[in-house]
A = this chain, B = another copy of it.
């Protein structure tokens, strides 16, 4: 496993591997998993997928300052290079790109990649500028690594939607591969930020996955479910926790992230076989957690 700390090294290592593995079927395809480090089993699942589907597997670890807003957790974001490198080695990564902030932003940056529309709601509304920072750094990373496929976790569902739109609009020659959310046994979605949680907060945070699961069952089985009723159910369940502070609970079309028609309930979407996302962001103390469920709607079962 090679460790590149500069852009030039990363390019050279990847070019060398591409050259060595030429002609071996898809042996010289590059799979890429961009992360902010402090890797957990969710990241490991992305790396396994990348290893399976690509001859060359690349991981980047970079806590990207421009996607954090003022007052967010940039300073305390957890880091553990040694453990990350061990996990990467175990998952068969070929090249780890570990740049410094100075390496990524050596001069005053004047260029921004902006995606409108899909960024207007959910985290885009709560964290102004966040997705500009994400789209800009991912553009840079794609230009450095030149991957054929890039793997992203569905926990950051809006991020996946934003990056897919960016790739389409700018004709980037890379396939965005969304991968399922990985959860603890008790349901909590894995996140590097879970480490911030106290014991009580960790216990209370289970309300997120539980309420999403219950809502999914209702969406699947209750022909009278409307977006508003589903959002009300989830909101009520979360408010029952004395320490949960809701940022948003929203149900939108997926991947467009547009509001659903309340009047029509989910009937038309069911007929069209559309997909919806039920997404939430909730604070426990100073720790903000996100989770979601994406569902492809089927025609509601008849009650006979």
Contacts and interface: CB of A to CB of B under 8 A. Distances in A.
Contact of A140 (B115, B136, B144, B171): B171
Contact of A116 (B7, B110, B165, B171): B110
B110 A143 contact: no
Interface string A159-200: 000000110111111000000000000000000000000000
Contact of A173 (B11, B109, B166, B168): B11
Nearest to A145: B171
A140 B170 contact: yes
A234 to B, nearest CB: 28
Identical chains in the assembly? 2
A285 interface: no
B117 A165 contact: no
- Size range of the interface on A? 20 to 34
Interface centre among A109, A115, A165, A171 (most CB of B within 10 A): A171
A139 interface: yes
A139 B139 CA distance: 10
Interface in A59-112: 107-112
A150 interface: no
Given A107-B168, A111-B170, 18 more contacts: A7-B171, A108-B117, A110-B115, A110-B116, A110-B118, A110-B169, A111-B116, A111-B169, A113-B113, A113-B170, A140-B169, A140-B170, A140-B171, A143-B171, A143-B172, A144-B171, A144-B173, A146-B173
14 contacts: A7-B171, A107-B168, A110-B115, A110-B117, A110-B165, A111-B113, A111-B114, A111-B166, A112-B113, A113-B113, A114-B114, A139-B170, A140-B170, A143-B171
